[in-house]
Structure 1
Amino acid sequence: MTSIDTTTGPGVTTAPRITVRLFAGAAAEYGADTADVHAATVQEAVDALLVGASADAARVIERSSILLNAVACTDRSRALTDGDRLDVLPPFAGG
């Protein structure tokens, strides 16, 4: 797979740089298994992934579980800091 960097270009802020790893169907639909984004919160990171994503990729990402530094994170308003890592895990076995 490939990596996508969404941290450069118009509208980029000084928010922390976050590495996002996508797994299984999320990576397949997104077209990359990693992405770098600038985001202050988990939700902002998800929103950054969705910019320019296909409708199928957006649907999978929105339904996925999010891990913040390898720990399940259900609070999408949680603040992020430079170097944090998010993992996007899509539902498995039809879940």
Structure 2
Amino acid sequence: MAVVRFFAGAAEAAGTATATLDAACIGDLRSLLGERHGAGFSLILSRCSLLVNGIRAADDEVPLSALDTIDVLPPFAGG
């Protein structure tokens, strides 16, 4: 199972810093996370960047394997 790491507001909305999921691609991962954590989390997730093994995954068709680490990063502000 792939490891999903949540950061900042995404971790707060998920109620956890990590999870494990079996998903074939980023689109499946988004759906599974929405089912698991609810509509409020799905809204936050829609604004997040996803990194697969440190590489941005902008396309829902990006494949996933059980060895992948996915980081869920909400938008950051600052200056």
Structure 2 SS opposite 1:45: helix
The match for 1:62 is 46
The match for 1:46 is 30
Residues 1:91 and 2:70 aligned together: no
What is the distance in 2 between the residues matched to 1:48 and 1:42? 10
Name the Cα RMSD after superposition: 1.5
- Give runs of ≥4 in structure 1 deviating > 6 Å: none
Residues 1:20 and 2:25 aligned together: no
Instruction: List gaps (5 residues or longer) in structure 1.
Output: 1-16
The structure whose residues are more often helix, as a share, is: 2
| Count of residues paired in the alignment | 78
Instruction: List gaps (5 residues or longer) in structure 2.
Output: none
What is the distance in 2 between the residues matched to 1:46 and 1:20? 11
Deviations 1:41-71 (A, max 9, x none): 0111121111132332211112100001011
Amino acid at match of 2:63: A
What is the distance in 1 between the residues matched to 2:55 and 2:68? 11
Structure 2 length normalisation: TM-score? Answer: 0.89
Highest Rg: 1 or 2? 1
Structure 1 length normalisation: TM-score? Answer: 0.75
